[in-house]
A and B are shown apart, each in its own frame.
Chain A
Amino acid sequence: MVITVGLLGNPNVGKTSLFNKLVGARQYVANWPGVTVSRIEGATSFREYTLHIVDLPGIYSLAATSVDEKVTRDYLLYSPPNVTAVVIDSMSPEQGIFLLLEAFELGLNVIAVFNAIDEVRKSGIKMDKSSLEKFLRVPVVLTSAHTGEGIDELKEKIVGSFKKSVRPLVIDYGNETEDYIKQIEECVEDSYNKRFAAIKIIEGDKFAGSFLKKECKENLIDSIPQEIRTSIPLTKYRYVTNVIQLCTQKNEEALTVTEALDHVLTHKYIGIPIFLSLMYLAFNFTFKVSEPLVGLMEFFFEKLADTIGNETLITSLLSQGIISGVGSVLAFVPSIFALFFALGIMEESGYLPRIAFLVDKLMYSLRLTGRSFMTLLLGFGCNVSTVMAARGLSDERERITTILVSPFISCSARIPVYLLIVSVAFPTRKAEAFFAIYALSITLTAFSSRIVNKIVLKGQNVPLVMELPRYRFPKLSNVFAYMWNRGKHFLEKAGTIIFVASILIWALTYFPSHGNVEESYVAMFGKLIQPIFAPLGFTWQIVSALIFGGVAKEVIVSALSQFHKSASNISIDPATAAALMTFILGYIPCFATIAAIRSETNSRKYTFFAIFYSLGISYLLSLIVYTVGRLIL
């Protein structure tokens, strides 16, 4: 027997953690709103039943105002699950219970799940389950996705509620509003839940127009006075506050940890300096931790390649093409994992939305918002994620801007390239060089979004209503899940695209003169176009590597080490290195990103813009860096 269960709730109440606990999956959960943009499904067996669980994007209300809210609402409306578990944050239950009341109106078979109950107990609040059940008239489960408390009881109640559904609570909005509801109900198409549709129409739902019969008068909706519109949520919230007052016992309001931390971390003056120092610390941590391992792996791959030698075609392919090519990229895996570990801690603790809060004014003057800023942050993992996640942005203009500027966010594929350059050219200033390139990445993104808005699109305002979640002590297993989910992408690429590219590069370096790089096809081609890049100080090896890097940025590392026989033979002077890093930051989106941009914007114009704009601006910037660099470095 299959029972479908929908997990519904506000953003960031722990639906995804609960989902993981229920089905034993390892979805990464971020401590910031909007993690789930499309629904995630999983299944688990319990007794003789199979529970098919659907994790829905977080919403505040069943009135849809943006696309991801519509995803959730339409799912519940058109294919209602057998049981809907409304997940409520016990620390701030008001908005959650409000959503629960809306779920009643939709006629769903509901269970109320009060999550984070461990935090509630810790802060000395008492919650009475039986009175919650009495006033809400649905099964109530107190759970903690953190400790695993109440998970079995939840499964138990899901089955119970599947067997025997309860008659939900109906809220009376008072005579005047009820009259309007009745009037509008008559106009609603028969296939919909009439009361729900009528209420949403009164509340001013953007998409509610589709509920109405065609012959209905338009002015009926426009004639609803504002008091009636607000009376619906207001009545619900009155009910909610009453329930909470009757069912919980609170202590005196004290200064919470979150407030104390926020006082410093989002401070008017020192907030941004603290953010920058934390980033710097994260980079420093990355290098300190991973350096010995990276060194060891480089040494290992080099020795392995030496043992095999490169006398014959086959051994050369093995040692040069595969071991040196793929190995030079793999050697940086520890650094990448260490960096994502540090970023994972920041994200897990709830600091990330604060950054959006801190920089919003700045971003806003560049015509981006905190919301798109968070989408862009995904790009530090992989730019394709940003391009895809931009779907969640409700404003089309903002979505296009975010997509077009996303390649400037320095993705993880670029990390090994920087690592290589930095360790060759700035061995004593690694963290500083990294900090500089990331700062440049953000500046360039911001600057480009301004240009995109000026030239390509003409803009107006986009609202930002964002919840700032509580700080949480990062849980190690979650940080590891984050690190793994971000880092594994990299390992997959090493086995596929980087592997293939390495072999191709090997072939072009090996032929026609059997291993003499200087006379290979690559050298001929590189030397042909090298003059274009001479003003930036790039050698033909760099130029050819950059061309291969268009496929995927990691390939630059593999190409460079093949051209020089091994990674340890590479030498680049500081000025060229700085110019090269600048150039790599932006020069061209990789194949996968270009394809994503093409399919998401569905426009050749935007795709060409993304390619040529980034090439142009990177060349210009590198030229400046090289010229200035030669004077000071």
Chain B
Amino acid sequence: MKLSAAPIGAKVIVKSLDESEISPKLRAIGILPGITLTVVKSAPMGDPRMYKVFNKIISLRQSEAELIEVEMLSESVIPLSQATPGEYIIKEIYGGFRFQRWLEKIGITYGAKISLLSDRKVKTAFGVYDVGFGKLSRIYVTTQTTEKVGERE
């Protein structure tokens, strides 16, 4: 995938760079094949975005990020709305108390295992549910079981 398409929060590993005017500079900063980047956040209107390269925060435009081919790492925490169908673990839910209560009822809680079906429905321990795109984008998931999951409550 292109770096510009990687969701916010994703950890990606750089695969290759298209040769361009800025590629020597990108390489010098440390954006090189084999190096891990984190997508930190985006500016208003989705462009430019901040990336973490080693310990520095670099801002790149989407048009520049498009030159960088990356692969997402499994430990990334990404919004469910951006995820490809498969199994995930809930890491973070952004929303008020009512939103969390509503999700709890259908089995989406911190640390719960769910799967995203190919028709973008969510399968939880309680059943299969249709969750809107807006809601999905506030649920952050990962594919890895890591240490602190479950302690969040």
Contact = CB atoms under 8 A, between A and B. Distances in A.
Interface of A: 60-61, 63, 65, 91-95, 98-99, 203-206, 226, 229-230, 233-234, 237, 258-259, 262-263, 266, 268-269, 271-272, 353, 357-358, 360-362, 364, 370, 461, 463-468
B63 interface: yes
Given A65-B22, A234-B34, A464 B56 contact: no
B24 A204 contact: yes
Contacts of A463: 21-22, 61, 64
Given A268-B42, A268-B44, A61 B25 contact: yes
B40 to A, nearest CB: 8
A465 B56 contact: no
Interface string B73-108: 000000000000000000000000000000000000
Nearest to A466: B59
A271 B60 contact: no
Contact of B63 (A94, A357, A461): A461
Contacts of A370: 48, 59
A359 to B, nearest CB: 8
Interface residues of B, number: 38
B29 A465 contact: yes
B150 interface: no
Interface of B: 16-17, 19, 21-30, 32-35, 40-48, 50, 53-61, 63-64
Nearest to B42: A268
B24 A203 contact: yes
A466 B59 CA distance: 5
A204 B64 contact: no
**Central interface residue in A93, A259, A269, A357, by most chain B CB within 10 Å:** A357
B48 A203 contact: no
Contacts of A95: 28-30, 53-54, 56
Given A95-B29, A268-B44, A464-B48, A226 B19 contact: yes
Contacts, number: 124
Given A94-B54, A262-B41, A271-B43, A357 B24 contact: no
Contacts of A230: 17, 27, 32-33
**Central interface residue in B40, B42, B54, by most chain A CB within 10 Å:** B54
Contacts of B28: 60-61, 63, 95, 98-99, 233
Contact of B64 (A60, A63, A93, A465): A465
Nearest to B17: A230
Given A233-B27, A461-B63, A465-B25, A272 B44 contact: yes
A63 B23 CA distance: 11
A367 to B, nearest CB: 13
Contacts of A357: 43, 48, 50, 59
Given A61-B25, A63-B24, 13 more contacts: A94-B30, A95-B28, A95-B54, A98-B30, A205-B24, A206-B24, A262-B40, A262-B57, A263-B41, A271-B44, A360-B47, A364-B47, A465-B25
A272 to B, nearest CB: 6
Contacts of B53: 95
A358 B50 contact: no
Question: DSSP class of B's interface residues: helix, strand, loop or mixed?
Answer: mixed
B24 to A, nearest CB: 5
Contact of B55 (A94, A203, A233, A263): A94
Contact of B45 (A262, A263, A361): A361
Contact of A60 (B19, B23, B29): B29
A271 B44 CA distance: 8
A383 to B, nearest CB: 27
Given A463-B21, A465-B29, A358 B59 contact: no
Contacts of B40: 259, 262
19 contacts: A65-B22, A94-B54, A94-B55, A98-B28, A204-B19, A206-B24, A233-B27, A234-B34, A266-B43, A269-B44, A357-B59, A358-B43, A362-B45, A364-B47, A370-B48, A463-B64, A465-B26, A465-B58, A468-B57
Contacts of A206: 24
Nearest to A468: B57
A430 B103 CA distance: 50
B55 A92 contact: yes
Given A370-B59, A464-B61, A203 B27 contact: yes
A542 B48 CA distance: 45
A100 to B, nearest CB: 13
Nearest to B63: A461
Contacts of A464: 48, 59-61, 64
B70 to A, nearest CB: 15
Contact of A361 (B22, B34, B43): B43
